[in-house]
Amino acid sequence: MNSTRWRLLAVSLSFMGWLASCSILGGEASPEPLFSVPATFPQPTYDLSKNPITNDGVALGKQLFFDSILSRDGSISCGECHNQSHAFTHHGHGFSHGIDNQEGTRNAPPLINLAWQDSFFWDGGVFDLDLFSIAPIENPLEMDEKIGNVLQKLRASKEYPKLFKKAYGSEEITTERFLKALSQFMLTLVSANSKYDQFLAGKAQLSTEESAGLQLFKDKGCAKCHSGALFTDHSFRSNGLLPEYTGDLGRYRITENEADKNKFKVPTLRNIEVTYPYMHDARFLNLEAVLRFYAEGVKETGSLDPLLKQNGRLGIPMTADEQQKIIAFLKTLTDQEFLTNPRFAAP
């Protein structure tokens, strides 16, 4: 073997040893991937090939997400109604507050694990994440702006043409690039490291109460709607809430199908501990009220889900003790790493 080949081999072995030392001795860690599929999750429904996630694309999307330039008067950003510490919901408000301190008509759902969703909002009115951001921007109660005006403001700014060039190779700012950059950042909002996830991975143990709550969650049928690793089947169901507060008829607003009256999208239960208040109309302030409702308050809506009217009884039979055990389990779905990850914080 000649000297050149020996030197190459030596360099190669040295590099491999350095990698091993990093892994074994806790040296410099590999950078966190921008997006990956957790081991227990299904494959995403979002077509990542049409919008490849890049460092510069995510950085641009994050800058846009937290920039109030997207609103008519520069007062409201996406981050205004989607707070990281509360799983990107609007903490402290039942309904989203928008421009001119106007109040919306629904509780802001969490922005997590969006790559696995094929419909958005409580009524499923948007079917593509790349179109999702148009709705709040152009809603007169939220940002009250037109996409065309947003693009003009971005083009006139000092920084955004540079950021678009880094992300896309040129300073051209188009609707497609703008929306896909926002999607790139939102796609990275993956929550999959709760205590329950660590339990599944054999890295944590559930308490006696939490374990009992998990079994009750399954036995009482909660897992039939809040199913799988995502804790939602993404369906639209009527859960026995009468539209007495807002008159909101949910999915019917989109389909105009009588069978869809009072149906709303089944929300994920991940991080449910911090996403209060609950339901589309924010009528329940805590998990205790939610569980009491399912035990005692379910009403016939005309489209009530069959799972909530079993054996001639409405709702889910649960004792107060059983409700507390289920709540203990639900709190194991809180992902503190996600809620505090600096990657997702406002720049």
Q: For residue range 244-286, what is the model confidence (pLDDT) as tens digits?
A: 767 899 999 999 999 999 999 999 999 999 999 999 999 999 9
Average pLDDT of the chain is 90
Domain count, the chain: 2
The whole-number average pLDDT for the span 276-300 is 96
Q: Are residues 161 and 133 in the same domain?
A: yes
Residues 149 and 167 in one domain: yes
Do residues 161 and 270 share a domain? no
**Residues 59, 344: Cα–Cα separation, whole Å:** 10
| Structure tokens, 20 | 């091993």
Domain C-terminal end among 163, 190, 217: 190
Amino acid at 56: D
> What is the C-alpha separation between 210 and 334, in angstroms, rounded?
13
Same-domain status, 142 and 276: no
More confident: 45 or 104: 45
pLDDT of residue 246: 72
Q: At what angle do helices 320-330 and 208-219 cross, to 10 degrees?
A: 100
Banded pLDDT at 148 (limits 50, 70, 90): very high
Residue-wise pLDDT for 81-98, tens only, equals 899 999 999 877 778 778
Local structure of residue 40 (DSSP, 8 states): T
Residue 302, in any domain of the structure: yes
Largest CA distance in the chain: 86
**Helices marked H in 31-140:** 55-65, 78-81, 129-132, 134-138
Structural domain including 137 reads: 52-190
My answer on whether 112 and 166 are in the same domain is yes
Instruction: Indicate if the pLDDT at residue 71 is higher than 80.
Output: yes
In angstroms, the Cα distances linking 119 to 28, 230, 257 are 40, 14, 17
Residue 319: count other Cβ atoms within 10 Å of its Cβ.
Answer: 10
* 119-146 mean pLDDT: 96
Provide the pLDDT for residue 90: 85
* Structure confidence at residue 104 (pLDDT): 85
The answer to whether residues 347 and 63 touch, using CB atoms and an 8 Å cutoff, is: yes
Return the residue matching tokens 């922005």. 111
pLDDT of residue 30: 53
Is 254 in the same domain as 292?
Answer: yes
165 with 228, same domain: the answer is: no
Q: State residue 181's pLDDT score.
A: 98
Q: What is the mean pLDDT of residues 191-202?
A: 98
Q: Is residue 250 part of a domain?
A: yes
Do residue 107 and residue 213 come from a single domain? no
Q: Tell whether 182 and 201 lie within a shared domain.
A: no
Is 165 domain-assigned? yes
Same domain membership, residue 209 and residue 157: no
pLDDT of residue 14: 36
**What type of residue is 4?**
T
Same domain, yes or no, for 220 and 323?
Answer: yes
Q: Which of 190, 218, 242 is the last residue of a domain?
A: 190
3-state helix, strand, coil in the chain (%, to 5): 45, 5, 50
Mean pLDDT to the nearest integer, 221-246: 94
pLDDT tens digit string along 14-49?
333 333 333 333 444 456 789 999 999 999 999 999
35 is a domain residue: no
CATH number at residue 119: 1.10.760.10
Domain boundary among 128, 158, 190: 190
Whether 346 is in a domain gets the answer: no
Asked whether residue 185 carries a pLDDT value surpassing 90, the answer given is yes
